[in-house]
Amino acid sequence: MGFAQALRAAGMAVSTGRTLLFAEALGRVGLDRQSAVYWAGRATLLTRAEDRATYERVFAAYWLSLPFAGLPPVSVPVSVALDDAPEPPGQDDGGGEREEPVTAVRYSPAEVLRHRDFARLSDAEWAEARRLIAELQVSAETRRARRLRPAGNRGERLDLRRSVRRSIPAGGELVRLSRRTATRRPRRLLLLVDVSGSMDSYARALLRFAHAAMRARGRLRVSVFAIGTRLTPLTRELSNGDADAAMAAATESVADWSGGTRLGQCLRDFNDRWGARGLARGAVTVVFSDGWDRGEPELLGTEMARLHRLARRVIWVNPLKASPDFAPLARGMAAALPWVDEFIPGHSIAALEHLAAVIAGPGTARRAPAGRPAP
């Protein structure tokens, strides 16, 4: 931080983010070699070629104790403050400035909360997490619709009726042609949330994500189902604008909350009753589950293959995937994985933000599962 402050005093623009990146680079390359420190700073702090000479002069003065005018003292005291706390004391009680500069290192509790596992949140943190989840912006990828709209003279198709109508004031001369282009509509979003006992620490957060998706702006069509030992539709319960009331209605409707898991049977019930009727056809389908299944893995694999044939994309969100030692060893997870297009974690707010970005992704190049040719 002192080196970054010295660069700023010399006229270079060094942001806080680049300072933190420089500190991370030093943590990797160490401080025992001059060249390593030099190139770590040059790669992370230098943004303009014309600042190279300034960087080299400041580096020599700061790290090698060579004279260079205009540098602040090398020893910089540091104080730490919360985002909502008062500024660190930079002046004394009499209003005069202190003789030694103070660098304030600030951190955001909300930023720390974004990456914290839902299973480790306290009651106060969970209250803040609910607010952050409710503010998520969820949108699905779009598809080409049959309905056309006016597009001036840049559309794909000629609008003969409008062109003739606009030619009447000109005596029937087609002075200007009107065109139409296809509209785009968001694809249906299908959310299947595992509410078994192994998912108890994450199910409420994932259902709140589903509620945020249902409250999203635009014409986003969302269908939500709870999967456990049975399949429970929750679209009507989560359509309530009040998130707490919607969650209370949803948990009351699920009779097998924190029970066992029969993923294969639940998916078969969905495919037979709703999927075949078109609810999953062309939809972006998201399955929230850790993959632990008490049923037969062969049944789960068969039903996942049916679901994959109907859906546009199948996204599997597993909270356990965030662990560095995670491996899909559960029989259910191993059976479902070949029919999954995106396999991502869902243990934190940051993971849900990434999920929202994946849902809104273009999805034009559908990845074929392993062992199966692309359609």
Domain residue spans of the chain: 2-111, 145-185, 187-359
**CA gap 146, 294 in Å, rounded:** 44
Taken in order 225, 301, 203, 257, is the CA torsion positive or negative? positive
Residue 184 or residue 19, greater confidence: 19
pLDDT band, very low/low/confident/very high, at 67 (cuts 50, 70, 90): low
**CA gap 222, 193 in Å, rounded:** 13
pLDDT band, very low/low/confident/very high, at 85 (cuts 50, 70, 90): very low
Total residues belonging to the chain: 375
Q: C-alpha angle with apex 342: 336 to 345, nearest 5 degrees?
A: 90
- Is the Cβ–Cβ distance between 341 and 367 less than 8 Å? yes
pLDDT at 98 exceeding the cut of 60: no
pLDDT band, very low/low/confident/very high, at 339 (cuts 50, 70, 90): very high
Q: What percent of the chain has pLDDT over 70?
A: 81
pLDDT of residue 371: 41
**CA gap 268, 279 in Å, rounded:** 14
pLDDT of residue 314: 95
**CA gap 148, 158 in Å, rounded:** 11
- Is the Cβ–Cβ distance between 263 and 332 less than 8 Å? yes
pLDDT at 161 exceeding the cut of 60: yes
Q: Which range has the top average pLDDT, 84-93, 308-317, 355-364? A: 308-317
pLDDT at 269 exceeding the cut of 80: yes
Q: Classify domain 187-359 at the CATH topology level.
A: Rossmann fold (3.40.50)
pLDDT band, very low/low/confident/very high, at 362 (cuts 50, 70, 90): low
C-alpha separations of 130 from 136, 140, 251 in Å: 10, 22, 16
Residue 287 or residue 107, greater confidence: 287
The count of other CB atoms within 10 Å of the CB of residue 275 is 23
**CA gap 308, 339 in Å, rounded:** 6
**CA gap 15, 91 in Å, rounded:** 24
pLDDT at 204 exceeding the cut of 80: yes
Tell me the two tokens of residue 325.
Answer: 């030692």
pLDDT of residue 79: 44
First to last CA, the chain: 54
Q: Which range has the top average pLDDT, 108-117, 321-330, 345-354? A: 345-354
> Which amino acid makes up residue 125?
E
Residue 304 or residue 94, greater confidence: 304
pLDDT at 101 exceeding the cut of 80: no
> How many secondary structure helices (H) and strands (E) does the chain include?
14, 11
**CA gap 352, 23 in Å, rounded:** 28
| Phi, psi (rounded to 5 degrees) for 218 | 95, -165
pLDDT of residue 295: 84
**CA gap 144, 53 in Å, rounded:** 54
pLDDT of residue 200: 86
Which helix or strand (DSSP H or E) is residue 142 part of? strand 142-150
Q: Residue 95: which region, alpha, beta or left (left: phi > 0; alpha: psi -120 to 50)?
A: left
β-pairing, 189-194 vs 157-158, is: unpaired
Lowest mean pLDDT among 52-61, 127-136, 163-172: 163-172
- Is the Cβ–Cβ distance between 38 and 3 less than 8 Å? no
pLDDT band, very low/low/confident/very high, at 300 (cuts 50, 70, 90): very high
For range 232-236, the mean pLDDT: 93
Taken in order 210, 211, 217, 221, is the CA torsion positive or negative? positive
For range 347-370, the mean pLDDT: 73
pLDDT at 47 exceeding the cut of 90: no
pLDDT at 372 exceeding the cut of 70: no
Q: Which range has the top average pLDDT, 43-47, 149-153, 183-187, 360-364? A: 43-47
Residue 274 or residue 99, greater confidence: 274
